[in-house]
């Protein structure tokens, strides 16, 4: 178990969300993408800003600010002046959604920034099997259910994010949105159920 953050609480504590923690700290599901079944998380595929925003549940203004301040930068292709599009990797989008989750629960941005840097330093290894816990002041990284229980018994962790669940949600969202092949720039059309329904109706007509 590792901790990150400077320990300085900003704005006091936030209300405990027992139901959310109960859902996220149990036994994180390993998403299909980890086993190589998910197209969205495949290497060599990038996602433009609007797609990353839709999958992470953030605004383009947030995305732009976080990129410009170095919180979460696009690892596939940064923006080079006007006319170029940022391109985010699957892991980038997972990170965006994690940042959004922490912000929504009142964790200070500086502590989130420290957490993101910590994840970068360790190379995002086993990211999808990790549980991140926070008491509003410090973020703890837990690699096993026993460590989660230990934190809860000690009274430190009041909010948990099972990264595997976030990973699976992002994979499901991106599979219905457009991606882009990094090498050729080819647009990959997502498997949108509404589009499939329209195609069936056209064939029937």
**Sheet of 87-88: strands edge to edge?**
87-88, 45-48, 179-181, 187-188
How deeply is 69 buried, as exposed, middle or buried, from its count of CB atoms within 10 A (0-12, 13-18, 19+)? exposed
| pLDDT score, position 100 | 95
Greater pLDDT, 25 or 109: 109
The secondary structure element, H or E, covering residue 111 is helix 109-121
Token pair in block for residue 120: 């970068």
Kindly report whether the global pTM for this prediction surpasses the value 0.75. Answer: no
Q: Report pLDDT digits (tens) over 177-187.
A: 988 888 877 88
| pLDDT score, position 108 | 86
Report the chain's C-alpha Rg in angstroms: 18
Give the pLDDT band (50/70/90) at residue 8.
very low
β-strand partners of 134: 139, 159
Greater pLDDT, 25 or 99: 99
| pLDDT score, position 42 | 67
- Region 151-167: mean pLDDT is 83
3-state DSSP percent of the chain in helix, strand and coil, to 5:
45, 15, 40
pLDDT beyond 60 at 113: yes
pLDDT beyond 60 at 15: no
What secondary structure letter does DSSP report for 135?
Answer: -
Residues counted in the chain: 205
pLDDT beyond 50 at 14: no
| pLDDT score, position 110 | 87
Give the pLDDT band (50/70/90) at residue 18.
very low
Whole-number Å distance between alpha carbons of 57 and 205: 36
How deeply is 166 buried, as exposed, middle or buried, from its count of CB atoms within 10 A (0-12, 13-18, 19+)? buried
């Amino acid at each position: 178990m590792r901790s990150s953050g400077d320990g300085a609480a900003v704005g006091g504590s936030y209300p405990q969300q027992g139901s959310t923690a109960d859902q996220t700290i149990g036994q994180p599901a390993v998403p299909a993408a980890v086993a190589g079944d998910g197209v969205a998380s495949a290497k060599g595929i990038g996602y433009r800003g609007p797609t990353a925003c839709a999958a992470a549940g953030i605004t383009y203004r947030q995305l732009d600010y976080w990129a410009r301040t170095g919180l979460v930068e696009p690892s596939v292709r940064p923006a080079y002046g006007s006319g170029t599009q940022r391109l985010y990797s699957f892991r980038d989008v997972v990170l965006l959604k994690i940042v959004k989750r922490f912000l929504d629960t009142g964790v200070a941005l500086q502590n989130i920034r420290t957490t993101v840097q910590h994840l970068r330093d360790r190379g995002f290894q086993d990211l999808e099997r990790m549980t991140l816990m926070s008491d509003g002041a410090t973020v703890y990284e837990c690699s096993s259910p026993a460590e989660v229980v230990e934190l809860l018994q000690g009274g430190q962790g009041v909010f948990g994010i099972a990264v595997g669940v976030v990973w699976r949600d992002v994979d499901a969202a991106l599979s219905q949105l457009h991606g882009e092949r990094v090498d050729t720039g080819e647009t990959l059309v997502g498997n949108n159920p509404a589009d499939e329904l329209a195609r069936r109706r056209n064939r029937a007509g």
